[in-house]
Chains A and B, each alone.
Chain A
Amino acid sequence: MPDDIVLKVEDLHKSYGNITVLKGVSFEVRRGETKIICGPSGSGKSTLLRCLNLITRPDKGRIWLEGEEITNRNVNINKVRQKIGFVFQEFNLFNHLTALRNVSIGLEVVKRLKKEEARKIALEMLRKVGLEEHAYKYPAELSGGQKQRVAIARALAMNPAIIFYDEPTSALDPQLIGEVLEVMKALAREKVTSIVVTHEMGFAQSVGDEILFMYDGKIIERGPPLEVIQNPKCEQTKRFFQKIHELYARQER
């Protein structure tokens, strides 16, 4: 496998009981790439991300992270997950810890860094997302946008090979979305490898390298963002973007 492939996914399948959520998903992510995944709800996007860091075990298919097959049963999944940053729709900040400790706890507990060293890195990461002055606040004292930026800092601090964003702005008030997208754009421009599940088409167009459009557990269309968004080929893709355009047009009015 070429060196610059960070993540490779081959024929991923996942079912819950009778419901098949993933029906054979394959793709790869190169170093520095920002991969956008979109598609209607229920198409399997979130399940895909959860399978990729093995929070959910895929039924079939293989995944390689930096050349190592992580679907192999002998792999230490805790070690694997250290290399994958995860940003949740609902932030999932640790409620009992300050912003700073939210970012440093992974370094202390998982990477076993000294407290002082972890603190230094955490502060640096908070500075990076523009929240240094809020370092000692608890999650309940932060706005949604600030929470999500702390969550991004928390993922970044572990120095992951790749970051997954699972609809990072979907739980935010419209006026707070911008600050989070700005941070994500800056990271994308710094060539932080990422997979972003999002419906923010502006973001996809400005920093996305490729869009994977999912429908019914499969990637049915893929290509450069501009092309897929403005000139989709599949009927389902057309319908999806049509709806998104309508929604945005309504918001702008």
Chain B
Amino acid sequence: MSVYSKLLRLMVTVWDYLPYILEGVWWTLGLVAGGLALGFIIGLPLSIAQVYGHRILKAIVEVYAWFFRSVPLLVLLFLFYWGIFPALGYKLDPLTCSILVLGFRSGGYQSQIFRGAIQSIGEGQYIAARTLGMSKLQGIYHIILPQALRIAFPGWVNEYAIILKDSAICFVLGVMEILTRTRYVVMATLEPLLPYFIAGGLFIILTYGGTKLVNIVYEKTKIPGLIGRI
């Protein structure tokens, strides 16, 4: 059999499997969206607690962020899937568990992104809010956060790209995302080259497309004088 006909057959085979791999994009996006959203819900209050909270609260946040940023994602996935959740009496499906772990971990990273942004805002903004008669929470909500979130935006977009790429590790739990499906195709066809290229290409498209998309949102909400550029 000539090289060309072999290549042709390979492409036809992979073409047959392509829809199967593409379906993984939705799973990957689910992992990313879930992880980012949960990370935001965890990270933002943590950052506020770390800047404005009581000493003990600050210490707890620090330990949290330190733990989730120090332990490898792979270890976290195994720890929670096989260890912590079963020990607590939960038998979670791989997708839910992966989203939770990605979210917990991203919460640690996002808390530090937002903390940096909040601390970069001069103390004068908060004091001005308080002198107007705003309560602590009103000042944080109306004055500090709108600025901090804009300043944090570039870091946050970076977090999207990181969590997107990290989500591939969830294949170890059998989540039906891009890599898991690609591996199945490789096993079935015994052809690793093209499928893995496709998987890589999909991640490039998602990284680039997602960053572009949020960039558009960012430009639309930009305010003169408030820094934060991607």
Contact = CB atoms under 8 A, between A and B. Distances in A.
Interface of A: 53, 55, 78-82, 84, 86, 88, 90, 92-96, 105-106, 109-110, 138-141, 154, 158
A78 B225 CA distance: 29
A53 B138 contact: no
A90 B124 CA distance: 8
Given A109-B142, A138-B224, A92 B132 contact: no
A152 B121 CA distance: 22
Most chain B CB atoms below 10 A, which of A55, A80, A84, A96: A96
30 contacts: A55-B127, A78-B134, A78-B135, A80-B133, A81-B130, A81-B132, A81-B133, A84-B131, A86-B131, A88-B127, A90-B122, A90-B124, A92-B124, A92-B125, A94-B128, A94-B147, A95-B147, A95-B223, A95-B226, A105-B132, A105-B142, A106-B134, A109-B134, A109-B138, A110-B132, A110-B138, A139-B225, A140-B225, A154-B132, A158-B132
A80 B135 CA distance: 12
Interface of B: 122, 124-125, 127-135, 138, 142-143, 146-147, 150, 223-226
A152 B135 CA distance: 21
A140 B147 CA distance: 13
Contact of B224 (A79, A86, A141, A154): A141
Contacts of A81: 130-133
Given A109-B138, A138-B223, A96 B131 contact: no
B181 to A, nearest CB: 44
Contacts of A88: 124, 127-128
Contacts of A92: 122, 124-125, 127-128
A141 B127 CA distance: 22
Contacts of A138: 223-225
Contacts of A93: 128
B151 to A, nearest CB: 10
A82 B133 contact: yes
Nearest to A82: B133
Contact of B132 (A95, A96, A106, A139): A106
Nearest to B128: A92
Given A96-B146, A105-B142, A109-B138, A140 B224 contact: yes
A88 B127 CA distance: 10
A158 B223 CA distance: 26
Contacts of B223: 95-96, 138
B40 to A, nearest CB: 19
A79 B132 CA distance: 9
B43 to A, nearest CB: 20
B149 to A, nearest CB: 9
Q: Which interface residue of A86, A94, A139 has the most chain B CB atoms within 10 A?
A: A94
A79 B131 CA distance: 10
Contacts of A55: 127, 130-131
Contacts of B142: 105, 109
A47 to B, nearest CB: 13
Given A105-B142, A109-B142, A96 B134 contact: no
Most chain B C-beta atoms within 10 Å of own C-beta, residue among A55, A84, A105, A141: A105
A95 B225 contact: yes
Contact of A78 (B133, B143, B146, B224): B133
A92 B125 CA distance: 6
Contacts of B122: 90, 92
Contacts of A105: 132, 142-143
Nearest to A157: B132
A163 to B, nearest CB: 11
A106 B133 contact: yes
A109 B139 CA distance: 9
A63 to B, nearest CB: 15
Contacts of B133: 78-82, 106, 110, 158
A95 B125 contact: yes
A43 to B, nearest CB: 21
Contacts of B224: 138, 140-141
A179 to B, nearest CB: 21
Q: Return the 6 tightest CB-CB contacts between A and B, nearest first.
A: A140-B225, A82-B133, A92-B128, A92-B124, A86-B131, A106-B132
Nearest to A142: B225
Nearest to A83: B133
Contacts of A80: 133
